[in-house]
Structure 1
Amino acid sequence: MSSYGAHGGRGWRGSRPFIGSTPSAPTGRGRGGFAPRGGRGALGHSWGKRKPQNVPDTSLHPLGKLLTTFNNSHLDMVVGSSSDVASIANCKYVASYNWLNERTPTIIVPGKPPLWTPLKEPQRLKEDKGEYFRDPNAARFPRYPTEPAVQAILKSDTDFPTLSIDIFACGSTMGNLLRFVRFIDKPFRFHVEVVGNTVFFVRKENAPKELIPDVRGFGHSFPESYTTWERDVGGSETHQRLVEYVFAGLKCLIRFGCDGYHGNLASRSVTGNPAPDMASDPVDLIEALEATLVGETLSDPDNSLNVRTGGTQVPQQSIFDLKTRSGRFGSEIDMEDIIPLLWIRQIPNFIVAYHDGAGLFQDIKVKDVQKDVRDWETENQTALKRLEVLLHKIIEFAKADGEGLVEVYCPSVDQLEIRKRFGDGSEALPPSLKSRWEGLSHEVDAEKSKTGIHSLYDYDEKDGSGDFTACSEECGYCGQCS
């Protein structure tokens, strides 16, 4: 077996051999007492077999007027016999930022993910303790959770062509839609807002500072021991990245949290210039879990966002997603649940760490998963074509609304509703930044045609009617994944 940073010989179901070499660990470890990053559990069972626990509370946040209802048979009618391949193309890094653990909401741009620094010898780790937020962006800046991402983009490129972007989403909202078209039962809701030519998908939990209940296991203590925030990003709590790619003829901006990066893979791209993106390879992004520990200096939501310059851009091909799970019964992680999320976020590397049930990790696997993700895309064309249709329909309803404010709500498997936004709600961006997004732009590429979208994607509605070591945000922290 050839693997780097690995102990033991376990693979995972449907896996291919691991590749790579052992990265050299820097002297010094840890984060200088700063609050740890969010939970990185792993999924061990099919989502469709579990009852999610973080269900939208419609009594707390009432639903607006129903505009339309979809199920997958509706989407299939539109897909028809299309021979086009549903795939992600032209993926490239756009911007990144780190949240700092400070009283004033503060990000540093471009920031940097924590460095993979595996222990030379396994040590028994303490079980997770503390309270963890589901969504660090909303918890840190509840008034406008999307603002930090947009500020990072405009700070990185003041001439960024904002009007060329069709969808601005995060790994969570896109992941929910992908689950829906795959018949996976996980209720969700998110806000949709039109700003300029862009339709923003804004994540919505029951509360901005909603916590993950009863966190147990080692999904947080493991990355605390095996990754390191470097000096130039000291005090960081989470690293967020934004990439751009084309899917369904739509230019998408996706924000996602990143668990870390491999120093040896990053160094291969050092040429004296900023690290290149992976535009030539469509498989180069993914979000890691976005939960974050409640720090002692949680920022005051009444403060404005403080944007600093700091850190170093790292190449997309060096970043990884990380999961932990119990290996007590010799079972291997089921990648059936992981790969779809890797596809949305396009992260090229994956780490799974098995513990003995008491915090000793002697079986750690590191793998380049790009081929796995491409194979999954090829094998799941039916669901991905449904996703294409669904995205166009959401855009259509959002732009047809007079205020450009609607909501997507999925109460159960194979039932998705588009509704008017109830009440005021939270907006994607503050007025000044919204105006900047609408006006600070180049012309949309003349060759990018939107003709036929409405007729192609219309349909006749009459024709269709426990142990948190292994859990993650994606399963709703169900406690049944061990």
Structure 2
Amino acid sequence: MLPSLARKSLRRRLRHAGFDTGAFGHIEKKKRWLVRNLGEKIGRVQVGSLKPCADQVTSASGFELLCSYSWRVETKKLPMTLPQANAERRSLGPRIYVPGEAPVVAQRNLPLVVGRRSTTKHYRDANIARMPSYPFEPMFQSMSVLNPGFRFDKIDLIVNRNSLRHLLRFTGGSVQENFRLDLAMIHNTLVVTPVLESVLDQGAGRGNFGRDFEDLIVRRSLRDSGSYHRAIRYNLGPLNCAVLSELDAALEDSGEALTSDDKRWMLHPNPVSVPPSELSGAFQPDDRAEKVLFGVRNRILVNKAKLWHEPRSEMALGGNGTLSKDAAELYAGRERGYRKMPQMWLGRIPFLVHGKYTGRCFTRVDVVRFATSFAAYETQIQDRLQKLVSLLETLRKLATDAAEQRCIVICNKAVKPRELRVFNHQKTPPSPLPADIRRHFWTNQETRKQDAV
């Protein structure tokens, strides 16, 4: 039980954020994470007030791969007997492999039966779970090796795919869950950091076999590797965005290797749910440029950025990288695969591997190339995409004008009409990126002066 003053403070902050504060109990406790360090309200954005931006939002201009990495799964603890071992253990942070690589979809004989449910912990966001102080830090560690010369001065937005998905859903008036985003300006770049109630994925419950499907059909070549992440740069209308996302899997030879006599594995060059007249040519990623980026083992790392902040992720060379043309989203479910289009479009993922099951048995796998339907999808939701741009521009303005250029955005799914409420922090939090990262990846002199203080 919280002390009386703490209960009153929590109730006040919950009311401030638009939440019901009836009898103090389990509901209020579950929402503490939403209102932690909540200060004064400085604005709100109602979904009805959003106007589409003037620019067309399209994926036709393509994207650029910035970096990639795999989280290492720690399987053994360092020995505790020697003093030097203890010192090493204290100094080591969570580890990433650069460039890493996604697990490969391996054809298995169907049907596949889900056996005993895995007790392995899965994270909703491994970056937040492993690096809670700096969730984007591993991305920049990877950049320091793969892309040390890239600068973010002309990047308007750094965000992860799931945050964009929340905001895109909001522009259509749909909110499936409460969410919170912490905003911070670094020079002219808006950094959007998600805040989660729990970093553990609770989705592997009864009747949900997504994680089981992944375990059944993928093969990991990189030993001790966990989730694979990549950052890509693309234009969202007039906004120049760096988008970080987890990539589920890769297809060998873009799925052609899965063609066999087993008719229960089907490769579809186009989604059957989209009329042929609405299909278009898909953007072809620059394989040569990506192979050069991944060729880190073949060059001396003389240009690697020197990053010494704490805490930090420890980097080791490992993996061969995953080419964008082979990227795939995994989905286990009875519904149409088209429901995964927001994730695929925002992450520029061309393929969906859709496992269909009855009871505990996977009886069919469809590998569908959805990239040819991106243009049709953009046309279908163009109004929402243009409102998403307007929303992001509004949030940039609110963050710029906020105290210390930091603020909190909260969405309460119970509030209608839908709105985002924006608050200052009660106490100014640390920057979402360490000073040495800001100094290296932004060349603006004013930013350098601020980070030198």
TM-score scaled by structure 1? 0.67
Report the Cα offset of residue 340 of structure 1. Answer: 1.8
> 2:106: which partner in 1?
117
Report the Cα offset of residue 86 of structure 1. Answer: 2.2
> 1:228: which partner in 2?
219
Q: Which amino acid letter does the alignment assign opposite residue 390 of structure 1?
A: L
> Which of 38, 42, 47 is 1:67 aligned to?
42
> Which of 226, 232, 247 is 2:236 aligned to?
247
Tell me if structure 2 keeps the 8 A contact 1:55–1:188: no
Larger mean CA deviation between 121-130 and 183-192 belongs to 121-130
1:142 paired to 2:136: no
Give the SS at the match of 2:400: helix
Separation in structure 2 between the aligned mates of residue 197 and residue 320 of structure 1, nearest angstrom: 33
Larger mean CA deviation between 390-399 and 425-434 belongs to 425-434
Give the SS at the match of 1:90: coil
Q: Which amino acid letter does the alignment assign opposite residue 386 of structure 1?
A: K
1:436 paired to 2:440: yes
Matches of residues 276-355 of structure 1 in structure 2 within 5 Å? 304-325=312-333, 332-335=334-337, 337-355=339-357
Larger mean CA deviation between 337-346 and 416-425 belongs to 416-425
Separation in structure 1 between the aligned mates of residue 30 and residue 107 of structure 2, nearest angstrom: 36
> 2:291: which partner in 1?
275
> 1:383: which partner in 2?
384
> 2:56: which partner in 1?
85
Report the Cα offset of residue 419 of structure 1. Answer: 1.7
Report the Cα offset of residue 273 of structure 1. Answer: 7.3
Tell me if structure 2 keeps the 8 A contact 1:111–1:312: yes
> 2:147: which partner in 1?
157
- How far does the alpha carbon of each residue in 1:31-70 deviate from its partner, in whole angstroms, 9 at most, with x for none? xxxxxxxxxxxxxxxxxxxxxxx98545762532211111
Give the SS at the match of 2:366: strand
- How far does the alpha carbon of each residue in 1:214-269 deviate from its partner, in whole angstroms, 9 at most, with x for none? 73332212211211111xx2111100011000112111000000111111129999
Report the Cα offset of residue 429 of structure 1. Answer: 1.4
> 1:168: which partner in 2?
158
> Which of 77, 90, 95 is 2:67 aligned to?
95
CA 1:408–1:336 in structure 2 vs 1: closer, same or farther (change >3 Å)? farther
Separation in structure 1 between the aligned mates of residue 190 and residue 245 of structure 2, nearest angstrom: 17
CA 1:67–1:60 in structure 2 vs 1: closer, same or farther (change >3 Å)? closer
Give the SS at the match of 1:172: helix
Aligned length: 350
- The structure that is helix-richer by fraction is 2
CA 1:270–1:214 in structure 2 vs 1: closer, same or farther (change >3 Å)? closer
> 1:399: which partner in 2?
400
- How far does the alpha carbon of each residue in 1:368-413 deviate from its partner, in whole angstroms, 9 at most, with x for none? 0012222111111111111111111111111223412112211135
Give the SS at the match of 1:184: coil
> 1:27: which partner in 2?
none
Q: Which amino acid letter does the alignment assign opposite residue 142 of structure 1?
A: P
Tell me if structure 2 keeps the 8 A contact 1:265–1:318: yes
Separation in structure 1 between the aligned mates of residue 424 and residue 182 of structure 2, nearest angstrom: 10
CA 1:161–1:71 in structure 2 vs 1: closer, same or farther (change >3 Å)? same
CA 1:270–1:424 in structure 2 vs 1: closer, same or farther (change >3 Å)? closer
Matches of residues 175-186 of structure 1 in structure 2 within 5 Å? 175-186=165-176
Tell me if structure 2 keeps the 8 A contact 1:354–1:363: yes
CA 1:323–1:393 in structure 2 vs 1: closer, same or farther (change >3 Å)? same
Structure 2 unpaired stretches of 5+: 1-28, 78-92, 258-284, 294-309, 446-453
Q: Which amino acid letter does the alignment assign opposite residue 58 of structure 2?
A: S
CA 1:136–1:148 in structure 2 vs 1: closer, same or farther (change >3 Å)? same
1:198 paired to 2:189: yes
Separation in structure 2 between the aligned mates of residue 93 and residue 150 of structure 1, nearest angstrom: 13
- How far does the alpha carbon of each residue in 1:271-313 deviate from its partner, in whole angstroms, 9 at most, with x for none? 8875389xxxxxxxxxxxxxxxxxxxxxxxx863101112112
Tell me if structure 1 keeps the 8 A contact 2:209–2:332: yes
> 2:419: which partner in 1?
415
Give the SS at the match of 2:240: strand
- How far does the alpha carbon of each residue in 1:306-343 deviate from its partner, in whole angstroms, 9 at most, with x for none? 01112112220101001112xxxxxx413453212222
Separation in structure 2 between the aligned mates of residue 362 and residue 213 of structure 1, nearest angstrom: 21
1:369 paired to 2:370: yes
CA 1:356–1:59 in structure 2 vs 1: closer, same or farther (change >3 Å)? closer
Separation in structure 2 between the aligned mates of residue 178 and residue 363 of structure 1, nearest angstrom: 31
